[in-house]
Amino acid sequence: MRVYNCENGKTILSWCENPEESAIEQAFNLSTLPFVDNPICLMPDTHFGYGMPIGGVIACDGSIVPNAVGVDIGCGMLACKTDINYLETDVLKSILGEIRKKIPVGFSHHQKANVEMMPKIDVGDRKVIGIEYESATHQVGTLGGGNHFIEIQKGIDNHIWFMLHSGSRNIGLKVAKYYNDIAKELNEKWHSVVTGSVDLAFLPIDSKEGKEYISEMEYCLDFAQANRNFMSEIIMGIMYEKTGCGFIETHNIHHNYAALENHNGKNRWIHRKGATSARLGEIGIIPGSQGTSSYIVRGLGNEKSYTSCSHGAGRRMGRKQAVRELSLENETKKMEEKGILHALRGKEDLDEAAGAYKDIDVVMSEQKDLVEIVVKLEPLAVVKG
């Protein structure tokens, strides 16, 4: 762990041994906010983000920062363990084909509204959810694009698993943007000085706007969890039809959210942007990049990190840079040498290739004091969002 001392006496703790300069600069910006407590934490997968580094954790006293939660509110992971230990290649291909038919990816939605899969809510005077609810009934149970994925995996526990990465879809994006814009307007009105970047605009917890954001954010968390559960039910149905398998355990977690937690005897709003809760004994999911290992972990409850850990491998290249610089032939070869049914179809898919990400094994090594490995998972097949 690296330690950076700020001029105002605050400290940045980085579990990433070689963090990029831009992420450290953003962490120093965070340290200037008077309501951000000491320390500011950077996980081993940290990299530059919008306003706050992805892989960042802060504790806020009396205020909440929309961009310290992120635009995909409630984005997270689901992992499910089956009772089978092998899949024939033709069966695996058949499963992938059915997944692609039944789970919309990218900007595609379900034709049918799935109201029964939505978290219950009285939309009432909720500014964004009231407008977006109907559209969201078609988005629940969809994967999305970017770094979202579905993988079929084989664990060192000799079980077949499946894993998926997705969030709150458009409803979370709209909530994030709406309240960040309000926070910027209010901060200007109050003549607040948000050092380094207006992308760290905040809302007081006890303000009308702060309460509204928290209410809508929490619904987005419920929606994101329901979204992953719905896709999981679809995948379970497909796998059962193809193999007759049973399902032993499922874990469903967020990595973009804020929650009121007690640390060191004080209640504060813990913001985890691209970071996962790792309380003592808590099961977590840390995915690799396309074609690399993923991990089921158990939290060690390290209070130095506000009981947090990384949410994945973390990018080492931006999406456009990866498309420009990576070789499709090389990235495809790496997947095919491992026998993985991959999603690299063309140059544009290199934005999520393994070469665009940090080495997941280095990331895991750097957080040995945050989590312990329960199961290591190797990919068999990938569906890319």
Percent of the chain at pLDDT > 70 equals 98
Asked whether the predicted pLDDT for residue 16 surpasses 60, the reply is: yes
For tokens 């629940």, the residue is 140
Give the pLDDT of residue 197: 56
**2-316+357-384 has which fold?**
tRNA-splicing ligase RtcB (3.90.1860)
pTM over 0.85: yes
- Residues 50-66 have pLDDT tens digits of 899 999 999 999 999 99
Q: How far is CA 9 from CA 6, 22, 37, in A?
A: 5, 21, 11
For 323-331, what is the mean pLDDT? 86
Asked whether the predicted pLDDT for residue 109 surpasses 70, the reply is: yes
For 306-324, what is the mean pLDDT? 90
- Residues 141-170 have pLDDT tens digits of 999 998 899 999 999 999 999 999 999 999
The mean pLDDT of the chain is 93
* Residue 289 contacts residue 357 (beta carbons within 8 Å): yes
Asked whether the predicted pLDDT for residue 105 surpasses 60, the reply is: yes
Give the phi and the psi of residue 353 in degrees, each rounded to 5.
-70, 160
Evaluate the omega torsion of the peptide bond into residue 39 and state whether it is cis, within 30 degrees of 0.
yes
Give the pLDDT of residue 195: 52
- Residues 20-37 have pLDDT tens digits of 999 999 999 999 999 999
- C-alpha–C-alpha distance, residues 66 and 50, integer Å: 11
**233 vs 7 pLDDT, higher one:** 233
Give the pLDDT of residue 231: 98
Q: Token pair for residue 237?
A: 């149905």
Catalytic residue check, 251: no
Asked whether the predicted pLDDT for residue 225 surpasses 90, the reply is: yes
- C-alpha–C-alpha distance, residues 284 and 305, integer Å: 15
Give the pLDDT of residue 317: 81
* Residue 203 contacts residue 68 (beta carbons within 8 Å): no
Give the pLDDT of residue 213: 97
Lowest-confidence segment of 94-108, 113-127, 329-343, 357-371 by average pLDDT: 329-343
Give the pLDDT of residue 198: 63
Give the pLDDT of residue 331: 82
Give the pLDDT of residue 339: 84
Of the residues 47, 109, 311, 342, only one is catalytic, namely 311
Q: Token pair for residue 269?
A: 């709003």
Q: Where are the domains of the chain?
A: 2-316+357-384
- Residues 268-289 have pLDDT tens digits of 999 999 999 999 999 999 999 8
Please state whether 85 falls in left (phi above 0), alpha (psi between -120 and 50) or beta.
Answer: alpha
